[in-house]
């Protein structure tokens, strides 16, 4: 009976939050495209970077291969001490809409870099990207299909090369599916600064840097909060054609530090709805783990296998549309293994957030 109760509650919640929400966001995206008003020449791209020499090449190739260019690319050099700035300047010689701006000595960090770059923007829209992303040649052509909004949360896809690295992308992909579903119902609860489009005038009006300058990262999540608090129009676009891709972490320590950094800013941002969703997910995950362990201890292996198979089956079906849309089916097939690992991973991250203080770009994440 307890298996039936748990699976019924889990299945209904997951279907409503993700599967039904996904249907809604697909419909909403279609309606937005019918009112397309954004032009590539109205967009300036801001890319803060620091010591990205080894990861810049895919981005620079993507820029060169574009069918349409934005008004301007502004690379904001956050005191790099490698050859990254020179690589960009080489491209600057062949494209006249690229600039490399060195931050002043008294300015550092991604948030300050973006604020510095905004002063240089002369277009209606700002698009922020990370220096380690890449995208398809029709990327800006697809952005022109977006309707008017103050902010667009656009897809940023982690891509692992090995089976282990695909595990590193799986929790992010599932979180992105959840975020898309929530946007279909109400609103997104997080955004990625690797692919975030917003109106310059709205940024200048709502940006509350003073409230979160103590966190080195989180330019995206805090800005989403500021737009939401000011009742600005925020939309999420879930098309593969407007996505950017980036590599997963390459080692376990890199992976853990990244997730700890993300968890830290999520806790600090003060979004009660996002906190509720996180708690709900944790409770459902830990309840599942409790039942599996309980049945194994009681040597009721049939019940342990049954609840595992039912929960896994639900997740495989519910998450399929998102993974298929983003063409990450080689990651989707790992969900059965991930079901067993996720409870352990959740506990490790929860404990590590309390004790481990990772650095980001060679700097402490708390200023």
Span 197-225, pLDDT tens digits: 999 999 999 998 777 776 666 688 899 99
Please report the pLDDT score of residue 343 as a whole number. 83
Span of 72-76, 162-166, 172-176, 313-317 with lowest mean pLDDT: 162-166
Please report the pLDDT score of residue 239 as a whole number. 93
Please report the pLDDT score of residue 146 as a whole number. 92
Q: What is the mean pLDDT of residues 165-180?
A: 92
Please report the pLDDT score of residue 264 as a whole number. 64
Count CB neighbours of 359 within 10 A. 11
Please report the pLDDT score of residue 251 as a whole number. 79
Please report the pLDDT score of residue 308 as a whole number. 96
**Over the stretch 98-123, which tens digit does the pLDDT of each residue have?**
999 999 988 888 889 999 999 999 99
| Arithmetic mean of pLDDT over the chain | 89
Please report the pLDDT score of residue 359 as a whole number. 61
Q: Higher model confidence: residue 221 or residue 157?
A: 157
Specify the long-range contacts of residues 339-346, CB closer than 8 Å, at least 24 apart.
339/288, 339/308, 339/311, 339/312, 339/315, 340/308, 341/167, 342/171, 342/285, 343/285, 343/286, 343/288, 343/289, 345/171, 346/282, 346/285, 346/286
Beta-carbon contacts of 353 under 8 Å, excluding residues fewer than 6 positions away, are 260, 263, 264, 267
Q: What is the mean pLDDT of residues 234-256?
A: 89
Q: What is the mean pLDDT of residues 51-57?
A: 93
Please report the pLDDT score of residue 71 as a whole number. 97
Please report the pLDDT score of residue 317 as a whole number. 95
Q: What is the mean pLDDT of residues 163-191?
A: 92
pLDDT of residue 347 exceeding 90: no
**Over the stretch 297-322, which tens digit does the pLDDT of each residue have?**
999 999 999 999 999 999 999 999 99
Please report the pLDDT score of residue 92 as a whole number. 77
Between the alpha carbon of residue 168 and those of residues 335, 336, 345, 362, the distances in Å are 12, 15, 11, 22
Helix ranges (DSSP H) in 230-362: 252-269, 272-297, 301-325, 329-332, 335-355
Q: Higher model confidence: residue 157 or residue 343?
A: 157
Calculate what percentage of the chain has a pLDDT beyond 70. Answer: 92
């Amino acid at each position: 009976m307890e298996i039936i109760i748990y699976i019924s509650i889990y299945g209904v919640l997951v279907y409503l939050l993700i599967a039904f929400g996904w249907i809604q966001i697909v419909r909403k995206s279609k309606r937005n495209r019918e009112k397309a008003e954004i032009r590539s020449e109205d967009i300036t791209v801001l890319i803060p970077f620091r010591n990205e020499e080894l990861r810049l090449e895919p981005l620079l190739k993507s820029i060169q291969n574009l069918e349409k260019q934005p008004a301007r690319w502004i690379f904001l050099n956050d005191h790099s001490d490698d050859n990254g700035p020179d690589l960009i300047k080489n491209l600057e010689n062949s494209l006249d809409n690229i600039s490399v701006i060195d931050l002043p000595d008294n300015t550092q960090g991604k948030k300050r870099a973006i604020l510095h770059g905004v002063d240089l923007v002369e277009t209606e829209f700002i698009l922020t990207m990370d220096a380690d992303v890449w995208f398809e040649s029709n990327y800006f052509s697809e952005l022109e299909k977006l309707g008017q909004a103050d902010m667009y949360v656009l897809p940023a896809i982690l891509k692992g090369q090995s089976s282990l690295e695909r595990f590193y992308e799986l929790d992010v992909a599932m979180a992105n599916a959840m975020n898309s579903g929530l946007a279909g119902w109400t609103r997104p609860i997080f955004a990625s600064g690797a692919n975030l489009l917003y109106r310059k005038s709205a940024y200048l009006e709502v940006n509350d840097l003073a409230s979160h300058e103590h966190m080195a990262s989180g330019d995206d999540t805090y800005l989403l909060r500021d737009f939401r608090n000011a009742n600005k129009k925020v939309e999420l676009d879930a098309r593969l054609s407007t996505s950017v891709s980036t590599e997963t972490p390459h080692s376990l320590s890199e992976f853990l530090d990244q997730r700890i950094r993300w968890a830290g800013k999520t806790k600090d941002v003060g979004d009660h709805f996002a906190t509720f969703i996180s708690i709900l997910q944790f409770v459902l995950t830990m309840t599942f783990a409790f039942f599996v362990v309980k049945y194994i201890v009681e040597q009721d292996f049939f019940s342990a296998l049954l609840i595992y198979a039912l929960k896994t089956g639900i997740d495989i079906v519910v998450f399929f549309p998102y993974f298929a849309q983003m063409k990450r089916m080689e990651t989707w097939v790992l969900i059965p293994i991930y079901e067993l690992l996720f409870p352990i991973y959740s506990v490790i991250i929860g404990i590590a957030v309390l004790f481990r203080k990772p650095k980001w770009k060679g700097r402490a994440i708390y200023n």
